[in-house]
Amino acid sequence: MSTAIKAEHKNLSPAENQKNIEHHKTASKHLEAASKHHLEAAKHHEQGNHLDAAQSTIVANGHLHLANEAQKEDVKHHATN
């Protein structure tokens, strides 16, 4: 870890640190859900259920969007603190 990053984390209040933790957990939760739905989409395609595959893909994309939003919030939090 670089010195600049170490110094930044030493100055975080417990509340600020908790926000960072929650952003990472939220992003992770949505990435895991997106992965699950993409795997479901692949299985549906293998079975020839292309409509179900499309629906799973849409749900996966929604989770990817939510994960990206959590990551953006984390970046904003780091930039302002």
Calculate the average pLDDT of the chain.
Answer: 89
Taking residue 17's Cβ as centre, other Cβ atoms within 10 Å add up to 12
Task: Give the tokens for residue 64.
Answer: 């990817």
d(CA 16, CA 19): 5
Higher pLDDT, 16 or 2: 16
Reported as a pLDDT band with limits 50, 70 and 90, residue 80 is confident
Reported as a pLDDT band with limits 50, 70 and 90, residue 1 is very low
In this prediction, residues 56-77 reach a mean pLDDT of 95
What does the pLDDT read at residue 40? 98
